[in-house]
Structure formats: C-alpha cells, structure tokens
Amino acid sequence: MQKEFDCVVQGADILGEVPLWCERTRKLWWVDVRRPAIQTYDPATAKHTAHRLNADMATGSIALREAGGLLLATNSGFYTYDPEKPEAPQSIGNPEAHLPQHRMNDGKVDRRGRFWVGSMKDGVREPAGNVYRLDADHQSHFQFGGIHVPNSISWSPDSRTMYFADTHLQLIWAYDFDLDDGVMSKQRVFKDWSGSEAKPDGSERDGRRRPGGAPDANRQGGPRDPAADQPRHLPRLRRATTRHALRHQPLAAFESRTSGARTVCGRPVCLIHRCKGLARIAIRGLNRGLVDSCN
C-alpha cells in the first residue's frame, strides 16, 4: 500500500538532510549540505527561512544547544552557530583536519547530550569515513572507521541499543549502548537491504511499538532487536515509488530519493528531492494539520 505524503515546503535544496524539530522555538530545522544553508520552517506562520553559510562550509548535520543556537558538523569540523545572531559560526575543533577531502554527514544527540557524527570521503564511495562522539566539553572521540556513507543514527527508547547505517553497504547495525559512559559494543546486523533498491538513510523510533521502516522489512528473515520499540528506518525510495507517494506534488520521471528522517509531533518527516533539482519536505499523512498537531 502506498503511503501518502504532503508537501509542506518547496525548499529548492540541492541536498536536504537531517530534519530536526525544536520544541523551544516550535520550528523545524534542516540543512542543505551543498548550498550550503541552514533552513527553518515555522508551521504556525508557514514561514520558511534559509540562513546561508559560507560557500566552503558543507554542513552534514546539526544539533540543538541548551544555550541556544546550533552545533554544526561540517567539512571543516564542528562549530557553534546561532542563525538569529550576527556572529559567524565559531570553530570548536576538527578531528579530521588531516583529511581535507572528508566532511561530516549524519549526526544525532544521545540522551546525555553527546553529539554522535559520522564522516565520509566526499564524492567518493570508499570505506574511509569515521564515527565520532562530541562531548559537552567540545572534545571529540574517535569510535570506529571503515565507513562509506554514515547515516541513520538512533537509539531505542531505553537507550540500551544504538543503531547506525552505512547507506552504501545497505546495512543497519545495532549495538549495545552504555548511556552513562557513552560506549558502543557488540555490533550485529539489524537489517540488510543488499540486493534491493532500498538504501537506509534516516531513521526515527516507531512509536507504535513495531519493528520496521521498510516495506516487508521483517518478512525477509531479518533479525529482531529485543528492545520494546524499534527505530523507523526510511530507506531511499526510487523513481515511481517516490513520484506516486507525492500525490500533491508529482516529481519528474527521473530518479528521486528520500533523505533524513525525524518525527515531528508524532509524524514521520523526510526530505524528498531529485538528484539534481528541487527538494521538498514531506510529512506523511499530515496535510494541513501540522499546526494543530504541534499545539
């Protein structure tokens, strides 16, 4: 059965990623990696704002700060930045200063405020990327390497299981996770999409207490994780699948895909874009009810 998506913002992103809902500002944030820009959408006013960054600052992911503003994970390391203030982004460290062809990609914050981010060799699919943990003291810690395209970072509701994907390999792994110490261990395959067109990109926990994300994900004999709730992994969708899902905004017949995934007011959000063109934010089954759902 086809899922219904409704277009909320036609953001004209080149590569839209990591939609992030802020309870404090009641806004949706996301990045355009290639423009580059930090973008926001206010559902109460339907206002869309793009905050342009320096042309050489490719930003793969963002995180909200308790002090206000954002953390940026870029091709030149980590920065603090408040789009509402005139100051430029401030560097707080670059663990890959010796790797100028690398950039940071997907990132997410755990329940202790640590920012987990994966890096990749930009434009080349080689197992050269790494995973880092950025702590509150702005110190970054290497976790492991050998990654092509890091994505789909998430945790189970009890924080005892962490999930991570390499989009290029079409694999999602699960790890035991020690929340107090911020340590991953006991890697195992959670879902293998190899041999199909689906590629895991973004993920979010499924609040309906079911494994899943991809159609028929567990009918193929994939292992189930014992956690009560599972993350919802949104694979990249190809061609007609995406075109028909966007019933209000049909895409051209050439290839399109989804990227990123988060939950906004209990509804999954993803970014849907063409490989060389217009990007749109789609909220599944939400239509015009976003403001009511968020208030």
Per the CB < 8 A criterion, the answer to whether 77 and 65 are in contact is: no
Give the full edge-to-edge strand order of the sheet including 59-64. 59-64, 70-74, 77-81, 90-93
Domains and CATH numbers, the chain: 5-294 (2.120.10.30)
E-strand spans in 138-255?
A: 140-147, 150-155, 161-166, 171-178, 183-192, 199-205, 231-236
Q: In whole angstroms, what is the distance from residue 236 CA to residue 197 CA?
A: 8
> How many other β-carbons are positioned within 10 Å of the β-carbon of residue 122?
16
Alpha helices in 158-249 (DSSP H): 240-245
pLDDT in tens, 2-20: 566 778 888 888 999 999 9
pLDDT in tens, 238-281: 333 333 333 333 333 323 455 665 655 555 565 554 444 444 55
Backbone phi and psi for residue 209, each to the nearest 5 degrees, phi listed first:
55, 55
| pLDDT tops 60 at residue 218 | no
Cross-strand pairs, 174: 163, 188
